[in-house]
Amino acid sequence: MAEHILRCGRCSVYTMAKVCLTCGIATIASHPPKYSLDDKYANYRREEKKKELILKQLY
**pTM tops 0.85:** no
State the pLDDT confidence band at 3, using cuts at 50, 70 and 90: confident
Q: Are 5 and 30 in contact (CB under 8 A)?
A: yes
Return the bridge partners of 15, or none.
6
What is the DSSP secondary-structure string of 35-58?
A: P-TT-TTHHHHHHHHHHHHHHTT-
Give the single-character DSSP code of 26. B
Q: Residue 2 pLDDT > 70, yes or no? A: no
Bridge partners (DSSP) listed for residue 8: 27
Going from N- to C-terminal start, the domains of the chain cover 1-30
Q: pLDDT tens digits, residue range 13-32? A: 999 999 999 999 999 998 88
Q: Answer yes or no: is pLDDT of 33 > 80.
A: no
**45-50: average pLDDT:** 94
